Amino acid sequence: MEQILATTLRSAAPLVLVATAGVFAFRAGIFHLGLEGLMIAGAFTTVAVGDATGSVELGILAAVGVCMILSALYWWVIGPLGANVIIAGLGLTSIGLGGTAFALGAIFDKRGSIFTDVVLPRPVRGITSGPGVIISELSILVWITPLIVLAAWFALRRSRFGLRLAAVGEYPFSARSVGVNPSIVRLQALLIAGALCALGGAELSVGALRNFTENMTNGRGFIAFVAVIFGAWHPIGAAFAGLFFGFADAIGIQSQINITERVPREFVLMIPFVITIFAVWLGGLWRRRSLEAEAGYAELREPDY
Amino acid sequence: MTGGLQRVASTAVLVVFSLLLTVLILWVSGYRVGDVFSGIIQGAVTATGASTSTIRWAIPLLLIGLGVVIGFRAGFFNIGGQGQFYMGACCALAVSLGWREGPAPLVILCGTLAAIGAGTAWSLLPGYLRVRFGTDEVLTTLMMSFIGALVLQYLTAGPMRNPSGTGQTAASERIPDSFRITDGSGVSTTVLLLVGGVAVLVWLLLERTRFGLAMTLVGRNPTMARWQGINAGRVGLATFALSGALAGLAGAVELYGPGARLVTGFSPEVGFTAVVVALVGLLTVGGTVVAAVLFGGLQSAILFLPIVTDLPPPALVLLHGMVAFLVTIKFQAVWRRTGPGAKAMAS
């Protein structure tokens, strides 16, 4: 039981961080399918820079920087240059996956994966036996994640920026009419999203593990995006959705260990995707008119490009 | 300059720019620019078997890409080609393994029809949700694609696994050799005729039929199409069905052609690359053929003949990403920025 709980927390933390990133993008009316690419870029940069400098903090800082630069480029392409949000987002994902795999070969001269000595600090110490030992293996980012979610909720609900973001996402024209530049607000939202994706990627590579592997995100960026939809683009909702998908992942890992349970792992892994289809369908059915981001999304997503 | 020519020119510029950017990255990491280009040319055209390999990899891209073109024409994003392709291949495999003793032409026909059916079903579900309930098809086709990949993984690791297989990755049993329509190279007259015929049919459908016109109208302006008496829902469903059918067909061609068996996660990028191919082909049939050969050549050079070309395989994924990232840029938006109201347009 404790095992499943700890594995859930560990699997969920990166998902929740990236889902929070997705919430910011979604609130700005951007259907951000580049989360996966940003996440893996963050995971790789943390390992690469952390390994080179020997400091995990510098690694994370560099990862945040890289992901923010990529996010700014994404904003530039879909905003001022008018590229299609979805296609460019998928392109960003491919750039991240291909770029990190390529850099792995170019910088470390390795194929597949690299190990590193840097690791995130683990605040709970001193438990060396019993079921609690797994708790002590949770990295500091796992413990901080709930605070980040609360901060995101506060920023979206209570801050000036959050209200501007809501206006831009819901009805860019009205935002423009009161002197808010929607393009700049979208840039800010994407930069925040980039930083959060970097944290999610870092937790994946040096939080739970100590390595970087090609394609190690393995669709987690998309699952996080799904959590955004499933959580009705609310940070708390998205966090719980991420937690749930982490739980499903933990069950999948457990069912792989306990061969006696004959549920094929593939079917457990399908759960998030099947649920999403239902969630998107029902969500659209119930709150068709009140889709918060629809106006901005429709504006960005023209059929004729 | 006419609109069409301008679009061709701007797309060509963006593709070349992406290629140069990738080459620049390769150069920074220590590859010599001359070697990179000569490697690509060798691996795509001049080396032994390279041109065959180019065509072999262009075929699935073309078939799935044509499906994407059909979807985009009617204004739908079918980005789940990967899953439809996998499901098609799985169903063709099930038919072929289940009916090993059957007469080859009949089994191939049934398998291909099963593949088309599976691809259709895999895209009709998102299509139905979209047309009937307005459910966003970008997410649902993407999710169906992930599910399809997991179904393939399950089948090749479980029920259809080759028990005597020793490889690290799970693979199915091979289909009997008499069922195959090409040798290992994946190119034969039959396949070329089939794919060429499909391309011509799609062109006729899009450019020369009432239905193709209805699709284009629905894509441009659904409300207007409805006022003109077009049943937009039915056109949408047919669009999704055709789009999935082509991806399913690609799966069957892959199995009966070069594959002969299915390996977990084979051709993992083909669905996404096909979207890029369709966009680079400017959503026209002729353009898609050209783009499919172009990307098939790059794929052949970088992924399948790395010994000849000495290029790192991830560079291809990177290149595809760059092209996708940039290809939908509107040049008009760039030019117009100086004019009045430019800000409003840009945001």
The contacts of residue A119 (CB under 8 Å, 6+ apart) are A56, A139, A206, A207, A210
The residues pairing with A113 across neighbouring beta strands, listed in sequence order, are A213
Task: Say if A7 falls within a structural domain.
Answer: no
Confidence of residue A231 (pLDDT cuts 50, 70, 90): confident
Smallest CA-to-CA distance from B255 within B118, B143, B146, B122 is with B118
Chain B contact for A102 (CB, 8 A cutoff): yes
Across the range B135-158, mean pLDDT stands at 90
pLDDT in tens, A149-172: 999 999 999 999 999 998 888 777
Flag whether pLDDT at A181 surpasses 50: yes
Instruction: Let me know: does A224 contact B139? Beta carbons within 8 Å.
Output: no
- Domain boundaries, position A177: 14-217+290-300
Flag whether pLDDT at A178 surpasses 90: no
For residue A118, the model assigns a pLDDT of 85
The contacts of residue B133 (CB under 8 Å, 6+ apart) are A281, A284, A285
CB contact under 8 A, A182 and B347: yes
> How far is residue B129's CA from residue B110's CA, in Å, rounded to a whole number?
28
Across the range A70-82, mean pLDDT stands at 93
Instruction: Let me know: does B258 contact B251? Beta carbons within 8 Å.
Output: no
| Mean pLDDT lowest among A28-42, A265-279, B104-118 | A265-279
**Could you tell me how many residues make up chain B?**
347
CB contact under 8 A, B320 and A94: yes
Phi, psi of A116 (to 5 degrees): -140, 160
ipTM of this model?
Answer: 0.88
The conformation of residue B302, written as its DSSP 8-state character, comes to I
For residue A257, the model assigns a pLDDT of 59
Task: Say if A266 falls within a structural domain.
Answer: no
Confidence of residue B341 (pLDDT cuts 50, 70, 90): very low
State the smallest CA–CA distance between residue A219 and chain B in angstroms: 9
For residue A82, the model assigns a pLDDT of 86
Flag whether pLDDT at B333 surpasses 80: no
Instruction: Let me know: does A221 contact A16? Beta carbons within 8 Å.
Output: no
For residue B173, the model assigns a pLDDT of 86
The number of distinct structural domains making up chain A is: 1
With CA atoms as reference, the chain B residue closest to A289 would be: B134
Confidence of residue A135 (pLDDT cuts 50, 70, 90): confident
Residue B48 burial by Cβ neighbours in a 10 Å radius (0-12, 13-18, 19+): exposed
Instruction: Tell me the pTM.
Output: 0.90
The conformation of residue A262, written as its DSSP 8-state character, comes to -
CB contact under 8 A, B135 and A281: yes
For residue A65, the model assigns a pLDDT of 97
State the smallest CA–CA distance between residue B178 and chain A in angstroms: 32
The amino acid present at A279, given as its one-letter code, is: A
pLDDT in tens, A248-264: 888 777 766 554 456 67
CB contact under 8 A, A277 and B320: no
Flag whether pLDDT at A288 surpasses 60: no
For residue B311, the model assigns a pLDDT of 80
For residue A119, the model assigns a pLDDT of 85
The amino acid present at A290, given as its one-letter code, is: S
For residue A49, the model assigns a pLDDT of 95
> How far is residue A194's CA from residue A42's CA, in Å, rounded to a whole number?
9
Flag whether pLDDT at B118 surpasses 50: yes
> How far is residue B323's CA from residue B318's CA, in Å, rounded to a whole number?
9
Question: Degrees (nearest 5) of the Cα angle A121, A126, A128?
Answer: 105
> How far is residue B23's CA from residue B31's CA, in Å, rounded to a whole number?
9
- What is the DSSP code string of B118-183? HHHHHHHHHHHIIIII---HHHHHHHHHHHHHHHHHHHHHTTTB-TT--SSS-BBPPPPGGG-SS-
SS3 assignment, position A114: strand
> How far is residue B163's CA from residue B153's CA, in Å, rounded to a whole number?
15
State the smallest CA–CA distance between residue A278 and chain B in angstroms: 9
Smallest CA-to-CA distance from B202 within B249, B234, B237 is with B249
Flag whether pLDDT at B48 surpasses 50: yes
| Mean pLDDT lowest among A43-52, A122-131, A265-274, B193-202 | A122-131
Flag whether pLDDT at B343 surpasses 90: no
Task: Say if A76 falls within a structural domain.
Answer: yes
Smallest CA-to-CA distance from B199 within B283, B287, B285, B78 is with B285
| Mean pLDDT lowest among A35-39, A237-241, B108-112, B157-161 | B157-161
With CA atoms as reference, the chain A residue closest to B282 would be: A305
Across the range B227-242, mean pLDDT stands at 91
| Mean pLDDT lowest among A130-144, A163-177, A245-259, B240-254 | A245-259
Instruction: Let me know: does A92 contact A70? Beta carbons within 8 Å.
Output: yes
Flag whether pLDDT at B91 surpasses 70: yes
For residue A138, the model assigns a pLDDT of 84
Flag whether pLDDT at A92 surpasses 70: yes
Q: Which helix (H) or strand (E) holds A115?
A: strand A113-115
For residue A258, the model assigns a pLDDT of 57
Across the range A97-102, mean pLDDT stands at 94
More confident residue, B157 or A193: A193
For residue A200, the model assigns a pLDDT of 96
Q: Which helix (H) or strand (E) holds A213?
A: strand A211-213
Tokens of A137: 């293996």
Q: Which residue has the tokens 């009161």?
A: A178
Across the range B279-295, mean pLDDT stands at 94
Q: Among residues 272-291 of chain A, which lie with CB inside 8 Å of chain B?
A: 273-274, 276-277, 280-281, 284-285, 288
The contacts of residue A58 (CB under 8 Å, 6+ apart) are A49, A50
Residues of A in contact with B136 (CB under 8 A): 280, 284
For residue A302, the model assigns a pLDDT of 39
Longest distance between any two alpha carbons in chain A, whole Å: 63
Test the B interface: residue of A102, A213, A216 with most B CBs within 10 Å = A102
Q: Half-sphere exposure of B340 toward its Cβ, with a 13 Å CA cutoff?
A: 0
Confidence of residue A202 (pLDDT cuts 50, 70, 90): very high
Smallest CA-to-CA distance from B268 within A239, A214, A60, A171 is with A214
Flag whether pLDDT at B322 surpasses 50: yes
Work out the percent of chain B whose per-residue pLDDT is above 70.
93
SS3 assignment, position B263: strand
Task: Say if A114 falls within a structural domain.
Answer: yes
> How far is residue A175's CA from residue A44's CA, in Å, rounded to a whole number?
37
Q: Half-sphere exposure of A46 toward its Cβ, with a 13 Å CA cutoff?
A: 33
Tokens of B145: 């694609």
Chain B contact for A95 (CB, 8 A cutoff): yes
> How far is residue B142's CA from residue A89's CA, in Å, rounded to a whole number?
13
Confidence of residue B276 (pLDDT cuts 50, 70, 90): very high
Q: Half-sphere exposure of B126 toward its Cβ, with a 13 Å CA cutoff?
A: 33
| Mean pLDDT lowest among A68-72, A109-113, B56-60, B235-239 | A109-113
Q: Which helix (H) or strand (E) holds A212?
A: strand A211-213
| Mean pLDDT lowest among A117-121, B2-6, B41-45 | B2-6
Q: Among residues 41-60 of chain B, which lie with CB inside 8 Å of chain A?
A: none
Q: Which of B77, B129, B154 sits opposite A266 (nearest CB)?
A: B154
Task: Say if A145 falls within a structural domain.
Answer: yes
Flag whether pLDDT at B342 surpasses 50: no
Tokens of A158: 């209570």
Chain A contact for B37 (CB, 8 A cutoff): no
Work out the percent of chain A whose per-residue pLDDT is above 70.
87
Tokens of B229: 């008496």
Work out the percent of chain B whose per-residue pLDDT is above 90.
56
For residue A199, the model assigns a pLDDT of 96
For residue A300, the model assigns a pLDDT of 44
> How far is residue B285's CA from residue B279's CA, in Å, rounded to a whole number?
11
| Mean pLDDT lowest among A4-8, B120-124, B228-232 | A4-8
Mean pLDDT of chain B: 88
Chain B contact for A92 (CB, 8 A cutoff): yes
